[in-house]
Every structure is written in C-alpha cells, then in structure tokens.
Amino acid sequence: MNIEESLKYIEIAASSFLKNNEVAEISSQINTIRKKQNDANLYLAVIGEFSSGKSTFINALLGFRLLKEAVTPTTACATYIRCKGNFLKVDVEFFTGSKFVVSTTQEFKKLAAYLHFHHNRTFYDLKSAVEALTSEQSIAKTVKSLYIDVPNTNIPSNIVIIDTPGFNPGANNVANHIEITKQVVEDIADAAIILTPQEQAMSSSLIRFLQNNIQHYLHRCIFVVTKMDVIDKDTRDGILSYVKSRILHNLNLPSPKLFGGSAITMLPVKRIPTGKEQEWVSFQKEFSWFEHRVWSYLQKSKIEVLKEHVYYLIENTITQCVTHLSRTQKDLEVNKEFLEKHGIANIQSVCDKMLASARSSVNSSINNISISLSSAEYSSRSYAESVINEGVITLSNFKQMMMPKIKDKVEKEARSSLSSINDRINSQVENTFAKQIEIMSKVFSTHYDSFPSLRPKQAPPLSNILRFNSPNMSFSIAISKIDSLEHEENTATGVGAVIGGIFGFLVGGPIGAAVGAGVGAGGGIAAGDKSDEMRAAAIPLVKDEISSYFILLKSKVEQELDNIRLSLSKALNAYADEHIRKYGVAVSKLIKDHEGKILFLNKQIKSLKNTILNLQNMRDEINHEIALSKINN
C-alpha cells in the first residue's frame, strides 16, 4: 500500500462529495498523518498506574536518574523526553500562559524566579527544577506542556520517550489524566509500554482502563512487569504466566508482547542486595536486550501506526461518504416528489378537489338559508281582513283607504323578511365563500414555498351578492271584483226607481208616480245593496293576492339564490383557473431545472458509490497488511 497515494485519493473523495467542515476535518487528519510520516522521530509512550515504577523505568532507559519518583499523582500533561543536544534543556509552558525555554544560566534564572514567585520554592540548578516539575504535585499540576532534551543517554537520538500521567481511580484529575494518555496512544505514540508492578500485576483497574480507552491499540503495546528483582525465579515465572493469562482472557490479545524485568538494576545504587549480585547482572543483560528489541520494534511499528491512521481515516471518510450518499439519495427523492407535486396535472387535480369541496360548502350554506315567508304572509292576511271589516266597503274607499294600508303592511312584512334573509346570506354564505377562498389561497401559497420569489400577487375574489328588494304590491283582482260588485249595486237602484214611478203613475198619476218612484228606488236600493257581498268577496281575494304575492316573492328569492350559487361558483372557478395559469408559467422553468438536477444527482450517486467501493477496497487492503504484520510481530 502506498500511503501518500491513499491520502491523495481520500482528499479527492472528500473534496468531491463532503461538506466544507467535513473536508476541513479530514484535511486536518491527513496533515497530521503526513506530519507524522515526515517526522524522523519515533515516539514511545510509557503508561502505568500511579506507583507502577514509571519514573524508575524511564530513568533506566535513559541510563541515569532524571525523574524523581512522585509520592502522589502529579502531572496534568504528558512529558516528552528527547535524546538530543549536549546539555540539559527544558521547554515548559504553564497554565498561566507563561513559557520558558531553558538551556542557559540566564534562562534558568527566569524559570527559577517564576517558580519562586508562584510556589515559594528556590532552585539552584535545572535538574532539581525538572524533578519538581515532574514529581511535586503542587508544581507539576500547573504544567500545561513539558519537553526535556537530555544529552548522553542510552536511547537512540531519534527516539522520544513520552511519560504519561498516572491514572489511578480516585486520584485527583484522573479523568483528565486518562484522556491525555488515551490521546497520546491514539495520535502520537508509535508504540507504548504498559507497566504493571509484580505485587499488583494486571490489576482490575488497569484492565478496565485498557478495555475502555485503548483496546483498539493494544497490539502496538508491550507489557512489562516491573520490580521482579525482589522475588525469586519461580514466583517470577508464575506472575508472567498469570499476566499473560489475564491479557489473553480480559483483553482478547492472542499474542501479547510480554517482558518481566527490573529497571532499578540499570541505575546506580549504593549497594546491590546481598546474594543478588549474579542475578543483578542477569537483570541488566535482560533489560539491555529488551531495550534493543524495543528500538527495533519502534521502527517497524511506525509504519504500522501510519497504516492504522490511514485505515481509520478511510473508515471515517467512508462513513461520511455513506452519510452523504444517503443525503443525496434523499435529495433525489425530494426532487422527484417536487416534480410530481408541482406538475400542472397534479395542481389541476388539487384544484379540482378544492373546487369541489369549496362549491359543496358554499352550496350547503345557501341551502341552509331558510326562505320561509309564512309568518309575514299570515300577519299580512290577518291585517288585511281586519282593515276590510272595519270600514265602509266601496270601490273608492277600498282604493283610497284600505288598499294603501294593506299594501304598506304587506310590503313592510316583506322587507322585514327579506332583510332577515339578507342578514343570513351575509353571515352564512359570504363567510363560507370567504373561508373557502382563504383555504384555496393558503394551498396556492404553499405551491410557491420552494420558490417564493415567483409568488404571484393574485388578489382573491370578493363575493358580489345582490340584496333582495320587495316588489310593489298591487290588488288588481280585488279592485276588479269590487268594481264589478259596486256597478251591480248602482244598476239595481236605478231600475227600482223606474219601476216604482211607472207603478205610481198608474195608480195615482204624477204624484203617485213620484211617490212610486221614490218607493221603487228605495226598494231597488234594498234589493241591490252589495256591501256585505263586496266585503265577503274582497277578504278572500285580498288574502289570495297577498298569498300570491308572497309565493312570487319566494320564487324570486329562490331564483336569486340560484344566481348567487352560480355567481360564486364562477368566481371560485376563475380563481383556481387564474392560479393554474400563472403558476404554470412561473414553475415550468423550475421544473426543467429540477429535472436537470435529478440527472446530476443520479450521476453523483453513481460516482459516489464507486468512490465508496474504492475506499472500502483500500481499507480492506490496509487491514490485511496490518493483520499480517501483527502475526509477524
């Protein structure tokens, strides 16, 4: 596998399909891998619980005592020990923001002054200051970063030892210590040494830390059981066997790299324990052999670590590309839905359904209007009868006195009824029409949600309903009938007078004729009096005409309601048709654009699927190489 070619392909894949923030994140990871690839140094992390002997072990690697064993958990950062230069050099930054690069006496004085001011401690040389920075909790916990350059060591010049913070459960800032250690192993270290003291070999707390934080990176770790010099060989063999069993069963690491030894034997001591002289030399040889194995392993491990970084980067890129593919496919579905939803045929169907519902609602509101005029008719008929019964019934009197009163009453009742109907039309029909228009307007408005700039300024129609007015009342039939009856009454009076005169003349001469004429006329009047007949005839005729009037009025109201129904239906149709026409013009171009977008998305999906397949092949190839290297190691 070519790491650089893989990185370039990942860059192209990310920039082609992912969002800017995702591309930036992947680019940052690529830069980190390239930086590590170009870094000639090899990084060895030393991990262990508090009191696991880390400081002694690192001093043993160096060949002299640089770090002092701490009594309590101390550093809040990882300490980088580099083997370079001709004199001790310290690069330290504190959480206060103060930074010191100390390699000369003058620079040391500045650091010493800072430590005296903040911690009331006096230091006379850089080595004692380093011991305080790494072992005294009150000072060490204020250190943000620490790099120490050490000359004349047993360690090759390109190797950097990373002393990680202890992570004992219950210790102060242990959560932060765990995160720092995890980050060092994941991102920086080429290999790691995990220390476990023989008296607490592979403790449950250590196993939990390894399981929860660096399980994926244990294959690049070397397990070291420390302080083996204080126990006999049989016990040492038993402990190593126990540790191996714990690693196999609890950490699922089939071939762990395991070493048991004594770091203290590599450092100057006042006196070798009695009886341990020969064993002391063996421990030293074993430790030296172990050191050379570690340096050799580091070089091989760096390549594998780079491959692992590329592997996880590919995994991350695949995940994000798959997510992007899902989004792209969803966008494709949305675009298809857009075309189906915003097509003219679909909008026509939507409008047809809305129109049917709107017309039904308007018609229902019209049908629910009561146009009963029976109360007005009954009141008018009763009033007419009472008027006719009260006065003298003559044609003149009927025309001039009765008919105007009755006419006023009928038309007043008609106006009152029509006013009530008009009010119901206003409250029911107009409101229903306005509500349906509002519903249609809202639906029409949603059609432009995807392109509000094209939303037309189409004003919804207003209802234009005529108000009902009562027609004039005329009593043509009743007037004609009374006129006829009155004519009969006048004729009967004249005939009686002529007959009476003739009869009187025959009996008594001219005087008798005059008397007879008078008597005859009186008899004629009596015989021809039609008042009761006229009254009796007028009442039903007037009532019938009143009923006919209200029947005609009701018919006209019904006809006008039909006209209103037709007018409002036309207004609804026109509103929908106008929307469809304007909408069609506005949206046709966008539909074409969306069709083009669908073609583009289909091509992008095809290309993205090929890219994901290539990334998966790269990942599988790297995974195979890593697996082989684990077997070989």
Predicted pLDDT at 539? 86
DSSP state of 65: -
Order of strands across the sheet that contains 159-163 = 99-102, 89-94, 143-150, 79-83, 159-163, 42-48, 191-197, 221-226, 257-260
pLDDT band at 447 (very low <50, low <70, confident <90, very high): low
38: Cβ contacts below 8 Å, ≥ 6 apart: none
Q: How many CB atoms lie within 10 A of CB 30?
A: 20
Q: Report whether pLDDT(322) > 60.
A: yes
Tell me the pLDDT tens digit for each residue of 409-426: 888 888 888 888 888 887
Sign of CA dihedral 287, 288, 290, 291: positive
Most confident of 39-43, 423-427, 530-534: 39-43
Q: Write the Ramachandran bin of 148: left for phi over 0, alpha for psi from -120 to 50, otherwise beta.
A: beta
DSSP state of 66: -
Q: Report whether pLDDT(466) > 90.
A: no
CA 69 to chain CA mean position, Å? 55
HSE-CB for 148 with a 13 A CA cutoff: 23
Q: Report whether pLDDT(503) > 50.
A: no
Supply the angle between the helices 531-632 and 374-390 in degrees, to the nearest 10: 170
C-alpha angle with apex 142: 139 to 143, nearest 5 degrees? 95
**Shortest CA distance to 48 belongs to which of 26, 70, 25?**
70
Supply the angle between the helices 531-632 and 403-424 in degrees, to the nearest 10: 0
pLDDT band at 30 (very low <50, low <70, confident <90, very high): very high
Quote the mean pLDDT of the chain: 82
Predicted pLDDT at 157? 87
Dig out the tokens for 449 from the structure: 């949600």
Q: Report whether pLDDT(457) > 70.
A: no
109: Cβ contacts below 8 Å, ≥ 6 apart: none
User: Which 3-state string (H, E, C) describes 415-454?
Assistant: HHHHHHHHHHHHHHHHHHHHHHHHHHHHHHHHCCCCCHHH
pLDDT band at 220 (very low <50, low <70, confident <90, very high): confident
pTM, entire model: 0.60
Q: Report whether pLDDT(615) > 70.
A: yes
Distance spanning both ends of the chain, measured CA to CA: 19
Percent of the chain scored above 70 by pLDDT?
Answer: 82
Sign of CA dihedral 177, 183, 186, 190: negative
Predicted pLDDT at 500? 41
Q: CA separation (Å) from 56 to 52, 228, 598?
A: 9, 13, 67
Q: Report whether pLDDT(232) > 50.
A: yes
106-114 mean pLDDT: 94
Dig out the tokens for 389 from the structure: 């019964």
